[in-house]
Amino acid sequence: MIKPHGSDTLRPLYVADEAKRASLLKEAETLPKLLVCSQAAANAVMLGSGYFNPLAGYMNLQDSLAVAEKMKTTAGLFWPVPIVNVVADASALRGAKRIALLDPNVDGNPVLAIQDVTSIDEASDAQMKTMAEKIFRTTDMGHPGVKNFLSVGKFFVAGPIQVLNYSYFASEFPETFRTAGQIREMIQKNGWNQVVAFQTRNPMHRAHEELVRMAMDRVGADGAVIHMLLGKLKAGDIPADIRDASIRKMVELYFPPNTVEITGYGYDMLYAGPREAVLHAVFRQNMGATHLIVGRDHAGVGSYYGPFDAQEIFHKEVPPGALEIKIFEADHTAYSKAVGKVIMMREAPAGHKKEDFVLLSGTKVREMLSMGQDLPPEFARPEVARILMSYYQSLPKEAAG
């Protein structure tokens, strides 16, 4: 099986031993408390799950700047995005060697992790903007990732962590949330050697379904892992439980048994385009995938990135040998009436016109579903469309439009 990134074996930071975990929770009662932001909480879940192997905790300011500038820590580890715990006010933490991190996303704010504080550094406004520019390729506060990054504070609380639970992900998505180690075990149990990972924050329409098939066929994969983001999204995106239900229905009806596994991970979307695509590759390698599908405008938002920037970064900025996982580069994919099947646009035969494709904008899809109109079967499986239609029709009119 493919090795994890940066180490021979996976080193998740979740404290699996029950007695030790109970002891740490007891200790947490005596420690200074810090209510972290949602992104820092998601970082803790990813560290605990083994997806951010081999990191031992949150980066300090120097490592964050180095990762933003060169995609390498000061010690030389390849890493595409700073993994940080940033706060607006660190005055209550001064002198603290150990702190309890409280979960902002669960009622009662339970202890999520315990952190050893190795440093607390204040970034300058210029440093924050530089990091935002490098990570997101913009400092526009209209970008949801930039807004999150520049709004939570400037104090970087660094140090290793011990993770005590998986926040709301394990309880709200028990059939879907899986750690990197659990997915590795699943891959091994299935006897898969070549494994395609498909990243999604959206429901899967016919084009996505066929793209998974194409990738599996072309790389000779034994199986595919559909790996959906379960954390926070921007306003208007479809909730995780609806995506989960629609994807499960698609796989149940349209893929052969034992060829596709449906899983999810506990992270908030960054919308960082190319840099996030590289992060996706890192943690898919950690979960045991040999290939990651990177499609058009992967992890993008609005018009901040070119359609294939997330593919080009692997050629232009990722050093050779930095990752073992391979990238399957996909074009925009849609049903062709001329050919009679879903194809990649770049593979359309000579003379093929744009009008030959069945294309619907996201706005048009939402409008049709909210009005109870069936989507073309060439665009979406009817069983999937019915789940989405039920969701959109349950929304207030102004939210569905």
Q: DSSP strand E in 221-354: where?
A: 223-229, 260-265, 291-294, 326-329, 333-336, 341-344
Proportion of the chain above pLDDT 70, given as a percent: 99
Residue 375 has, within 13 A of its CA and on its CB side, a CA count of 27
Check 190, 202, 248, 386 and give the catalytic one: 202
Q: Which among 200, 204, 300, 292 is positioned nearest to 253, based on CA atoms? A: 204
The pLDDT confidence band at residue 363, using thresholds 50, 70 and 90, is confident
User: pLDDT (tens digit, 9 = 90+) per residue, 20-33?
Assistant: 999 999 999 999 99
Compute and round to an integer the Cα radius of gyration of the chain: 21
User: Is 60 exceeded by the pLDDT of residue 400?
Assistant: no
pLDDT on residue 320? 96
CATH superfamily of domain region 176-400: HUPs (3.40.50.620)
Extract the tokens encoding 156. 């970087």
The pLDDT confidence band at residue 327, using thresholds 50, 70 and 90, is very high
- pTM given for the model: 0.95
160-179 mean pLDDT: 97
What residues does 199 pair with on adjacent strands?
A: 227
pLDDT on residue 149? 97
User: pLDDT (tens digit, 9 = 90+) per residue, 221-260?
Assistant: 999 999 999 998 887 788 889 999 999 999 999 999 999 9
Check 137, 178, 184, 201 and give the catalytic one: 201
Q: Is 3:282 a contact under the CB 8 Å cutoff?
A: no
d(CA 248, CA 322): 34
pLDDT on residue 182? 98
Boundaries of every domain in the chain: 18-170, 176-400
205-217 mean pLDDT: 96
Is 202 designated active site?
A: yes
Where is 114: in which H helix or E strand?
A: strand 111-116
Residue 110 has, within 13 A of its CA and on its CB side, a CA count of 12
User: Is 70 exceeded by the pLDDT of residue 399?
Assistant: no
Q: Is 356:203 a contact under the CB 8 Å cutoff?
A: no
pLDDT on residue 100? 98
Say if residue 349 is preceded by a cis peptide, omega within 30 of 0.
no
pLDDT on residue 234? 80
Three-state SS for 62? helix
User: Is 70 exceeded by the pLDDT of residue 375?
Assistant: yes
Where is 286: in which H helix or E strand?
A: helix 274-286
User: pLDDT (tens digit, 9 = 90+) per residue, 91-146?
Assistant: 999 899 999 999 999 999 999 999 999 999 999 999 999 999 999 999 999 999 99
User: Is 90 exceeded by the pLDDT of residue 362?
Assistant: no
CATH ID of 18-170, from 3.40.50.1820, 3.10.400.10, 3.40.605.10, 3.40.50.2000? 3.10.400.10
337-362 mean pLDDT: 92
Which residue in the block uniquely carries the two structure tokens 């202890």?
A: 111
Round the average pLDDT of the chain to a whole number and report it: 95
User: Is 80 exceeded by the pLDDT of residue 282?
Assistant: yes
Who's near 304: CB < 8 A, 6+ residues apart?
Answer: 136, 137, 138, 140, 143, 273
Where is 108: in which H helix or E strand?
A: none
d(CA 343, CA 334): 6
261-268 mean pLDDT: 97
**72-86, 318-332, 364-378: which range is least confident on average?**
364-378
User: Is 70 exceeded by the pLDDT of residue 401?
Assistant: no
pLDDT on residue 398? 58
